């Protein structure tokens, strides 16, 4: 159920101020220290950001998809590492539980996920399985009342902070129908987390390997029936891709604002570079593509709230928005010129940060395949 307009507008206003007054001023610190400050995380919890998509019955805000993407647009006004701090709780780390969990599982975990007491993580990718999620080799072997979980997951967001993993593991034969989903507490025996990887961008948002060595996962922690894990994962990714697309649009809007402000101040040949038509062309292209991406996101969110299937629409939004923000960031560096290549201005940081959006939660090439498959399935 949607929030009443006045309450939701107040939430948007609060998030907008939080981004401008608390997050943007510490962007350089996060980049330098590769860590989001504890006081910022505490404020995020108090604002309810960890529970944006968790139902109200379990202590969350229970936002509709349309409301969630509008919040994500605001969060795009700063480095995406801040959103990643609670992003797994809002998206891929919690939505399997929301969509497929039993009443007992939801009651046990969702209130603590919504409050931020628990950080969740989504463990699908492996050394030999990324885009081909149906080929996961991590095994879950039934042993009485537990499953013995063994295998390695790679590039798992927030793994070093997670108290709960949603893990995709093979319980049956090859292919998607042999994959099941499990809720795996991080303190179970045999769970170990590697050191955070050194990355191109998004410093402060950590990804790590996660290893399971005969970890005894209670059978009661399985999400859905055996063999339903891949289906759960794909439903989770539909929603996650739409959220990511909204963040991409928000960052593109921030980059455009910054580039326009710089172009109005920077003078060459006796006048602001904003007066030159080739600069204006880059701004026009960036604005047009960003408006189109935003329209895709808002329409897909509307369809989701109407109960329509959005596999194609979410893929299209994520594909177009992530490619768009990459082009917008590239043009912003060009408009800034030499200053765009210097760390002091922050543009080169965002240029590096946005590159990941075309890779995680499904590469652009996977989105193309999903879109084409859905178009043909729907008969064009």
For residues 182 and 153, what is the distance between their CA atoms, to the nearest angstrom? 14
Where among 228, 262, 295 does a domain terminate? 228
Is the domain of 373 the same as that of 266?
Answer: yes
Phi, psi at 364, each rounded to 5°: -60, -35
Please report, for residues 2, 3, 5, 95, 152, the alpha-carbon distance to residue 62 in angstroms, rounded to integers and kept in the order given.
8, 8, 14, 12, 33
Is the domain of 254 the same as that of 361?
Answer: yes
Q: Which residues span the domain enclosing 224? A: 120-228
Is the domain of 173 the same as that of 239?
Answer: no
**What Rg do the C-alpha atoms of the chain give, in angstroms?**
21
Residue-level pLDDT at 129: 82
Q: Which residues contact 40 (CB under 8 A, 6 or more apart)?
A: 22, 23, 26, 82, 85
Please report, for residues 35, 168, 202, 212, 365, the alpha-carbon distance to residue 114 in angstroms, rounded to integers and kept in the order given.
22, 22, 24, 26, 33
Residue-level pLDDT at 298: 98
Q: Residues with catalytic annotation? A: 361
By CB neighbour count within 10 A (0-12 exposed, 13-18 middle, 19+ buried), where does 308 fall?
Answer: exposed
Residue-level pLDDT at 188: 98
The total of structural domains in the chain comes to: 3
CATH of the domain at 352: 1.20.140.10
Residue-level pLDDT at 134: 84
Find, among 263, 275, 184, the residue nearest to 222 by Cα: 184
Is the domain of 371 the same as that of 270?
Answer: yes
Is the domain of 199 the same as that of 185?
Answer: yes
Is the domain of 217 the same as that of 318?
Answer: no
CATH of the domain at 188: 2.40.110.10
This model's pTM is above 0.85: yes
Is the domain of 259 the same as that of 368?
Answer: yes
Where among 197, 213, 228 does a domain terminate? 228
Is the domain of 238 the same as that of 210?
Answer: no
Residue-level pLDDT at 284: 98
Is the domain of 48 the same as that of 110?
Answer: yes
Instruction: Give the bridge partners for 120, in sequence order.
Output: 164
Mean pLDDT per block of 10 residues along the chain (380 residues) reads 86 97 96 96 96 95 95 96 94 90 96 96 90 88 97 96 96 92 97 96 96 98 94 87 97 98 97 98 98 98 96 97 98 97 94 96 95 93
Q: Which residues contact 132 (CB under 8 A, 6 or more apart)?
A: none
Instruction: Count Cβ atoms below 10 Å from residue 344 Cβ, excluding itself.
Output: 8
Is the domain of 98 the same as that of 204?
Answer: no
Residue-level pLDDT at 130: 78
Residue-level pLDDT at 196: 95
DSSP 8-state symbol, 188: S
Is the domain of 310 the same as that of 357?
Answer: yes
Is the domain of 253 the same as that of 344?
Answer: yes
Residue-level pLDDT at 262: 98
Where among 209, 228, 247 does a domain terminate? 228
């Amino acid at each position: 159920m949607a929030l009443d307009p006045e309450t939701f507008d107040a939430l948007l206003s609060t998030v907008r101020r939080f981004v401008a007054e608390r997050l943007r001023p510490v962007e350089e610190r996060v980049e330098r220290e590769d860590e989001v400050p504890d006081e910022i995380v505490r404020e995020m919890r108090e604002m309810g950001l960890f529970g944006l998509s968790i139902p109200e019955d379990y202590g969350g805000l229970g936002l509709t998809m349309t409301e969630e993407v509008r919040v994500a647009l605001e969060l795009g006004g700063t480095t995406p590492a801040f959103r990643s701090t609670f992003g797994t709780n809002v998206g891929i780390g919690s939505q399997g539980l929301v969509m497929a969990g039993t009443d007992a599982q939801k009651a046990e975990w969702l209130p603590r996920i919504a409050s931020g007491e628990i950080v969740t993580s989504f463990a699908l990718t492996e050394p030999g399985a990324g885009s081909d999620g149906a080929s996961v080799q991590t095994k879950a072997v039934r042993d009485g009342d537990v499953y013995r979980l063994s295998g390695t997951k790679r590039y798992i967001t927030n793994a070093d902070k997670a108290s709960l993993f949603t893990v995709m593991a093979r319980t049956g034969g090859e292919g998607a129908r042999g994959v099941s989903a499990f809720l795996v507490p991080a303190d179970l025996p045999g769970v170990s987390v590697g050191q955070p990887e050194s990355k191109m961008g998004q410093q402060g948002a950590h990804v790590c390997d996660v290893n399971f060595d005969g970890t005894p996962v209670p059978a009661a922690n399985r999400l859905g029936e055996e063999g339903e894990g891949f289906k759960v994962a794909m439903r989770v990714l539909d929603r996650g891709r739409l959220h990511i697309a909204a963040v991409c649009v928000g960052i593109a809007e921030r980059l455009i604002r910054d580039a326009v402000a710089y172009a109005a101040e920077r003078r060459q040949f006796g006048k602001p570079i904003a007066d030159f038509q080739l600069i204006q062309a880059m701004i026009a292209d960036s604005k047009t593509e960003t408006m189109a991406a935003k329209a895709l996101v808002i329409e897909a969110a509307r369809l989701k709230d109407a109960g329509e299937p959005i596999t194609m629409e979410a893929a299209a939004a994520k594909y177009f928005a992530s490619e768009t923000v990459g082009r917008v960031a590239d043009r912003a560096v060009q408009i800034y010129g030499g200053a765009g290549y210097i760390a002091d201005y922050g543009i080169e940081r965002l240029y590096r940060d946005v590159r990941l959006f075309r890779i995680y939660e499904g590469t652009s090439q996977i989105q193309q395949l999903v879109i084409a498959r859905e178009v043909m399935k729907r008969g064009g």
